[in-house]
Amino acid sequence: MHKRILVVVDDRSVTQSAIRQAIELAQAIRADIHFFSVLPAQGVVGFDHLPVAEISKIEMENEATAYAKKLLSAASEWAERAGIHSFCAMGSGLDGAQCVSDVATKKHCSLIVVGAEGGSTVLQHLNGSIVPGLISAASVPVLVCRDSGSSGGFWHRDSVSFRARQWSRELLERREGERND
């Protein structure tokens, strides 16, 4: 049975359904969860320098990494509250699906869980979904979860207090850092 489950984490609302289903499965079979976030690939052709805003690649990387850390942290806390041992990681590559597949192999995961919006494969590809490519690239089964419409999760009610506490801690850390300078 599946003892390590890789869950793809991003900021789409369907992802909370995938995380919830992965947690329920992990509880039932006593599995660990590896949360993984795919960072945007660097140097997208034709969009290196937008005339609207001048943001360096380093700043963009830092912002993407910080945002991914927040999402991973929230997912991990959700799993921990459910009694599931979890790990968090992030990575990037030109092909997000291959990146996820490689991590699943490296971490010895026996299942990949990912969220997907409805619609055709063409629409999913145009929206940036890695699901079609992941199904082809993965060497382990892929569980594709649709939005179940549940109101739980870290993007809703119980997450507001979590995010508020987290932002409060970050603000206090910054203030302490300023005092120490």
> DSSP letters along 61-99, please?
HHHHHHHHHHHHHHHHHHHHHTT--EEEEEEE-S-HHHH
pLDDT in tens, 103-159: 999 999 999 999 988 765 555 544 557 888 899 999 999 999 988 665 444 444 444
pLDDT attached to residue 130 = 87
Q: What is the CATH number of the domain that holds 120?
A: 3.40.50.620
User: Residue 110's pLDDT is what?
Assistant: 95
Question: Could you tell me if residue 179 is inside a domain?
Answer: no
Q: Is residue 117 part of a domain?
A: yes
Q: How far is CA 66 from CA 61, 71, 73, 90, 169, in A?
A: 9, 9, 10, 11, 15
Q: What is the domain count for the chain?
A: 1
Look at residue 45 in the predicted model and tell me its pLDDT.
46
The answer to whether 78 and 108 are in contact (CB under 8 A) is: no
Domain around 66: 4-153
Are residues 10 and 40 in contact, defined by beta-carbon separation less than 8 angstroms? Answer: no
- β-strand partners of 113: 7, 143
The answer to whether position 48 is within a domain reads yes
pLDDT value of residue 158: 43
47 within a domain of the structure (yes/no): yes
What is the pLDDT at residue 160?
A: 44
Structure pTM?
0.72
Residue 174 lies in a domain: no
Structural contact between residues 35 and 9, judged by C-beta atoms closer than 8 angstroms: yes
168 within domain boundaries: no
Tell me what pLDDT residue 159 has: 45
Residue 170, pLDDT above cutoff 60: yes
Q: Kindly state whether residue 71 falls inside one of the protein's structural domains.
A: yes
First to last CA, the chain: 53
Residue 164 located in a structural domain: no
What are the pLDDT digits (tens) for 32-82?
999 999 998 765 444 455 555 566 788 888 899 999 999 999 999 999 999
